[in-house]
Structure 1
Amino acid sequence: MTTEASNRPVRRTAKDIRREETRARLLDAAKNLFAEHDYDSVTVTEIAREAGVTHGMINVYFGGKPGLLYEIIRQTNALQYDDTLNVAAEEDSALKQLERTLFSWIDGDTEDTRLLAVMQSYSWVWPSETELDNQTVRSGFKAVIAKIVSNGSGSGEFRSSLDPHHTARSIWAIYTWGIRAAIFQGATALECHTEIMLQVRQLVLADP
């Protein structure tokens, strides 16, 4: 049963606002420092100093420096997932949907290639529970690609023999490798997209 009181918006207290502001300052400080230097070189003391708080606040809000970095990754993924859903929902051919979806990923990831490099390198050493959480997030992205592939195969635009989920994993691998050119070779988003889509077309398009 819904009561009138339960429909009222939750009132944010001054303490809630200060907590949110502190979290935001720590995240901004960490993003800047991780990108300017690298994850291992930056200390919690430096992050706290940049944010204007005590270093104990990092443990309070994020459980330490690894949790702080993963929160940056989590927020980045959440924004990109929303963009992915919006782009993939636009009516067009399956290939055009793939092109737009992958470009939205590239455009977001190459916004700060230094931070991208930090986030990717950390993904090789983070705890197993963090990896499980991130696998769940990645599954959401791959599901969008799998649906596009399924629609393309059903319409005859893509190869009819494609397994949507296997193909989505292959496209994810192509993307993950292709985006490295932005980090190590200074490639632009458009250059990365061109190379990635060349391989994706070879994978999915039906034989003429």
Structure 2
Amino acid sequence: MKRNPRRRPGGPTLKDKQSEETRRRLIAAARDLFDDYGYHAVSVSDIARAAGVTHSMINVYFNSKAGLLYQIVNERIVIDTTAATEIAARSGPVRERLESIVRVFAEHDLRDPEQLAVTMSYFWTWPEETEAENQLQIAQVFTPVKKVLCEAIAESSLSAQIDPDVALRAIFAIYTMGLRAGVYGNASVEDCVAGIMAQIGLLLRLPAAGS
């Protein structure tokens, strides 16, 4: 039997490499165009032309233009997760550490309110595999918050009756809704963080800031 010279046993095929290259080019082209002109001013044809592929490839690899934006946002959040992890490793009051972490994420998400609005809208329509991927990402991104909660419970700074996983889901909901003022009400990052922390403080029964 003649062996296919293009395939290395146990490694990626030529097709796999071509697919990954196409994805990479689409993400790079879309990132540059969105940054230069804004999400809504860029068409799928613009992106495909810049990437040197047909526009149908966007649906093949990302489901839609919004799905392509979602991948770009995912890549950019890595740096912010690292910063949040460093904050979680510090000592200090629970409220102060949580507020610093929330501010890191809010500064990232409100960097481009238009893109945030698109991503939040896509949140309700994306395919099941993207939902599964997002749940894993949320767990990873909020690991620093869980670390702070677990340490505070162990040190009795928070009630032992608090379930960290349940609290995390509530904090994520508070955070998501708290950003809407920045998207639709032109609220500043600091205003959004203050509103989010006020609700987290009630949820966790945290002492007021400065007390």
Q: How does the TM-score come out when normalised to structure 2? A: 0.75
1:76 aligned partner: 76
- How far is 1:73 from its partner? 2.5
SS in 2 for 1:186: coil
Aligned-pair CA distance for 1:63: 1.9
Structure 1 letter corresponding to 2:83: D
Classify 1:193/1:96 alpha carbon distance in 2 versus 1 (closer, same or farther; 3 Å). same
The residue type equivalent to 1:29 in the other structure is L
Q: Which moved more, 1:173-182 or 1:66-75?
A: 66-75
Question: Conserved in 2, the CA contact under 8 Å of 1:83 and 1:104?
Answer: yes
2:120 is aligned with 1:120: yes
Instruction: Work out whether 1:189 is the aligned partner of 2:193.
Output: no
1:206 positional shift = 5.6
Q: Is the 8 A contact 2:110 2:189 kept in 1?
A: yes
Residue type at the aligned position of 1:115: Q
Shift in alpha-carbon separation, 1:204–1:30, aligned structure 2, 3 A: same
Task: State the Cα RMSD in Å.
Answer: 2.9
The structural deviation recorded for 1:197 is 0.7
**What is aligned with 1:43?**
43
In 2, distance between residues paired with 1:69 and 1:22?
10
Mapping for residues 47-196 of structure 1, pairs under 5 Å:
47-49=47-49, 51=50, 53-56=51-54, 59=57, 63-64=61-62, 65-66=64-65, 67-196=67-196
With 163-172 and 74-83 compared, the bigger mean Cα shift is at 74-83
SS of the equivalent of 1:140 reads helix
How much does 1:170 deviate? Answer: 0.9
Name the SS for the 1:124 alignment partner: coil
Residue type at the aligned position of 1:155: E
The alignment partner of 1:159 has SS state of coil
Once residues 97 and 69 of structure 1 are traced to their aligned partners in structure 2, the CA distance between those partners, rounded to angstroms, is 30
**Structure 1 unaligned regions, length at least 5:** 1-14
Counterpart of 2:108, as a letter, is: G
Q: Secondary structure at the match of 1:35?
A: coil
In structure 2, relative to structure 1, the CA distance for the partners of 1:116 and 1:32 (3 Å cut) is: farther
Q: What is aligned with 1:204? A: 204
Report the counterpart of residue 26 of structure 1 in structure 2.
30
Paired residues of 1:94 and 1:148 also in contact (CA < 8 A): yes
The alpha carbon displacement at 1:126 in A equals 0.8
Is the deviation greater in 102-111 or in 160-169?
A: 160-169
Runs of 5+ unmatched residues, structure 2: 1-17
- 1: distance between equivalents of 2:188 and 2:36? 21
Q: Is the 8 A contact 1:45 1:55 kept in 2?
A: no
Q: Do the aligned partners of 2:26 and 2:58 also contact (CA within 8 Å) in 1? A: no
Q: With structure 1 as the length reference, what TM-score do the two structures score?
A: 0.76
**Any idea what the Cα deviations from partners look like across 1:151-171, whole Å, max 9, x if unmatched?**
112223223321111111111
